Amino acid sequence: MWEFRDDDLTGDLTRAFVADHLAQMHAQSPAESVHALDVDALRSPEITLVTAWGDDEVCGMGAYRRMPEHAAEVKSMRVAEAARGLGLGRLLLRQLIERADAEGITGLWLETGSSADFRTARGLYLSEGFVPCPPFGPYREDPESLYFRRDI
């Protein structure tokens, strides 16, 4: 049903999907608590971006940024409104986990929102073995953010 692609962010559809993601994050959180990456940041060599396609449309995306010591941070998880409730977020997350594991990454970390808007995302992460943890890397305590980690 879905086709998963390594994405280089050169396509207009993917770039528009990222722009929509950023706009949504800014609508849901104060600017100082938005940690979503724009297209230029997602094109960084330490980031792997996967998009999910259905009917020639971008239906979802997820990424991870390699960190020191065989770790990575999950970034830019998003499923299009029309594809929500179909299990695509879970499939995308599992794609990221499989790809990270194949690269020798042994631990995944992530930051997500603490508000009700992010309840579904938090449920997904918990159901896939992520556990709450303190802020990591550049993050600091923020009432708008929650942090999770998982061993691979």
Enumerate the domain spans of the chain: 3-151
How many Å apart are CA 139 and CA 18, to the nearest integer? Answer: 22
Q: How many CB atoms lie within 10 A of CB 89?
A: 23
For residue 57, what is the DSSP state? E
CATH topology assigned to domain 3-151: Aminopeptidase (3.40.630)
pLDDT tens-place string over residues 103-127: 999 999 999 989 888 899 999 999 9
The pTM of this model reads: 0.91
pLDDT tens-place string over residues 33-77: 777 777 888 999 999 999 999 989 999 999 999 999 999 999 999
Give the position of tokens 């792997």: 48
Write a three-state SS string for 87-114. CHHHHHHHHHHHHHHHCCCCEEEEEEEC
Q: Which two tokens stand for residue 93?
A: 């997350």
